[in-house]
Amino acid sequence: MRIPRAEVDEIIAHALAGYPHEACGVLVGDAGGPARRVVKAVRVENRERESPRVRYQIAPEDLIRIQRREREAGREIVGYYHSHPDHPARPSETDRRIAAEGLSDGVIHVVVGVDEGQRGTPTAWVFRDATQSFEAEAFEIE
């Protein structure tokens, strides 16, 4: 996955600002462009109310709003990001289960491990329906 430095910085800043709760957002790429290139990260409010320290939820109305706006600009949603406060920067079993319940094959997932609210480490993953699991994805910063 390729992503501009400014967008990586934005994702990490959002993850740090959300600490100790999970922060989340949407990854946008150019429609018809390379499938593994993110051009923009869009912050979204974590709508999880019961356990926001260990879960996130993106409201359907937020996704629809972003999808419509980005489509008008010639872009599309190519993935999602979220943080793991004081946990490793890799998908959890909950992340895997939720991805397996939807149409997630080939979708990019960036997970940012946040250490004590001070440091954010992003990693990239792609979900595969065939194996019902995440595969590590190269994280190329432009």
Where on the phi/psi map is residue 31: left (φ > 0), alpha (ψ -120 to 50), or beta? Answer: beta
Q: What is the mean pLDDT of each run of 10 residues along the chain (142 residues)?
A: 97 98 96 84 97 96 97 94 97 94 88 97 95 94 94
Look at residue 33 in the predicted model and tell me its pLDDT: 74
Distance CA 132, CA 96 (A): 7
Q: Is 115 exposed, middle or buried (0-12, 13-18, 19+ CB in 10 A)?
A: middle
pTM for the whole structure: 0.95
Q: Which residues are catalytic?
A: 22
Report the C-alpha gap between 81 and 40 in whole angstroms.
Answer: 11
* Residue 66, pLDDT score: 97
Domains of the chain plus CATH, in order, are 2-141 (3.40.140.10)
